[in-house]
């Protein structure tokens, strides 16, 4: 969590340079993109909400059917992570109120819906919260590798489609992963305190 806070403060400290770097990188990714990949990246970007909702429901549902309390608890943990991530993301979005890149720069080619303030990326925070929480819940390489590959693809898709700056995506990833870590820590403390009773 300290690393996350240092990252946020560093970003704002170097905000003028960061803005120049941000738009340069976004221009390279969005304006000079391979447009034949647009449909694929739209599919990836649209998967963020669905996967983030289906993962905790599926884990809890399988646990409920199998009468597996550990699996049900993991489902609740993943759902809790999503709630933490969404709260932090929207608090940052509306307190910072950064314009979307396509609103600030005419040359950015918007190829997807992007509503509300830009910073941080909600799709990216959702994806990384899901990937990190699922990896905490099921610490196997065959969970972590596809989960983080998908989350990274979601983040990249937001830039490819012109709706987020690189810094929106980087901080979104940090918020999502940090939310999963916080949820994991709270979950651990909660069950440790119950075990002591």
- What is the C-alpha to C-alpha distance for residues 53 and 130, in angstroms, rounded to an integer? 9
- What range does the domain containing 82 cover? 37-196
Inside any domain, residue 72:
yes
Give the count of domains, the chain: 1
Model pLDDT, residue 13: 47
Inside any domain, residue 31:
no
Inside any domain, residue 23:
no
Residues whose CB falls within 8 Å of the CB of residue 29, separated by 6 or more in sequence, listed in order: 156, 159, 160, 166
Model pLDDT, residue 134: 97
Inside any domain, residue 55:
yes
Model pLDDT, residue 115: 75
Model pLDDT, residue 112: 82
Model pLDDT, residue 190: 74
Alpha carbons within 13 A on the beta-carbon side of 121? 34
Residues whose CB falls within 8 Å of the CB of residue 160, separated by 6 or more in sequence, listed in order: 29, 30, 33, 37, 38, 41, 111
Inside any domain, residue 7:
no
- 28: tokens are 């390279």
Q: Are 178 and 7 in contact (CB under 8 A)?
A: no
Per-run averaged pLDDT (10 residues), the chain, 197 residues: 54 58 91 92 95 96 95 94 95 94 88 85 97 96 97 97 95 97 86 59
Inside any domain, residue 140:
yes
């Amino acid at each position: 969590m300290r690393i996350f806070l240092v990252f946020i403060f560093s970003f704002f400290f170097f905000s003028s340079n960061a803005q120049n770097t941000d738009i340069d990188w976004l221009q390279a990714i969005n304006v000079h993109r391979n447009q034949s990949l647009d449909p694929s990246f739209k599919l990836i970007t649209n998967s963020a909400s669905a996967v983030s909702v289906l993962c905790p429901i599926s884990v809890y549902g399988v646990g409920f059917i199998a009468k597996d309390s550990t699996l049900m608890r993991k489902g609740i943990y993943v759902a809790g992570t999503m709630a933490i991530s969404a709260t932090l993301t929207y608090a940052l979005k509306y307190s910072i109120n950064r314009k979307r890149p396509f609103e600030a720069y005419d040359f950015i080619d918007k190829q997807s819906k992007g509503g509300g303030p830009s910073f941080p990326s909600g799709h990216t925070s959702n994806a990384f919260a899901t990937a990190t929480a699922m990896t905490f819940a099921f610490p196997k390489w065959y969970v972590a590798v596809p989960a983080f590959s998908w989350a990274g693809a979601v983040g990249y898709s937001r830039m490819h489609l012109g709706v987020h700056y690189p810094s929106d995506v980087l901080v979104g990833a940090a918020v999502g992963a940090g939310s999963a870590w916080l949820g994991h820590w709270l979950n651990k403390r909660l069950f440790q305190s119950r075990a002591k009773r």
